[in-house]
Amino acid sequence: MERGRPRAFDVDQALDAALRVFWRDGFQAATMTELTAAMGVSKPSLYAAFGDKASLYIKAFERYLERELAEHRRALEAEPEVRRAVEVCLLSAVRAMTDPAKPRGCFIVNGVADCGSPGTPPAVEEALLRSIQGAVEMFGARLARGVEDRQLPASTDVGGLSAYLATVLAGLAVQAQAGVGCEVLRSVVGSALLAWPRNDA
């Protein structure tokens, strides 16, 4: 058994609470006071368990990747038909972005606004920018598999198409953050997929 006084709070639960605050407010606008209040943890306990604000943000960010984004990625990879896979992935993201039980929009897209601003630690900035690029690569890998499968023509511009899809995804997050509803965004996904490569050309 561990010695000393045991924690009075659940680390996972507290990190979830921090995730929600950072999700809604981004890095800079989230204050330690808001975080401690939402987490139900005193400041010294917070610093002892998670380190400083940037460390906490990174930990919350990693949890977001695992707990939220992994689900959409899984949808993208599980569906065998590539066009349908992309559609299911985007719709899954739309559902999450507009879920009234969660903060609006996307943790990453909300966070990217802080990039380039003084007061945003380099580690935070790098994590955000890397994961924006990660979305492009996620789509790219799936599209490449679609080309291998012969579901997409060999001439497909995988890089261009994946950049386009990542852009649509980011745009959906902005619209969701601005309060646009689920149904509208689902129809936007439908429109976006009309750009899908056709073999009748």
Among 11, 29, 37, 48, binds a second copy (CB under 8 A): 29
Candidate segments 45-53, 98-106, 168-176, 180-188, binder of DNA by CB under 7 A: 45-53
Among 47, 71, 91, 197, binds DNA (CB under 7 A): 47
Tokens of 117: 């601003």
Binding residues among 49-68 for DNA as defined by CB under 7 A: 49, 52-54
Please give the size of the binding site for a second copy, defined by CB under 8 A.
56
89 C-beta neighbours (distance < 10 Å), count? 25
Alpha helices in the chain (DSSP H): 11-29, 32-39, 43-50, 53-64, 70-78, 82-97, 107-112, 122-148, 158-177, 182-192
Query: Cβ contacts of residue 173 below 8 Å, gap of 6+?
Result: 93, 97, 105, 106, 108, 109, 110
44 near DNA, judged by CB under 7 A = yes
**Which parts of this chain interact with a second copy (CB under 8 A)?**
24-26, 28-30, 34, 103-104, 109-120, 128-129, 132-133, 157, 160-161, 163-164, 166-175, 177-180, 184-185, 187-188, 190-197
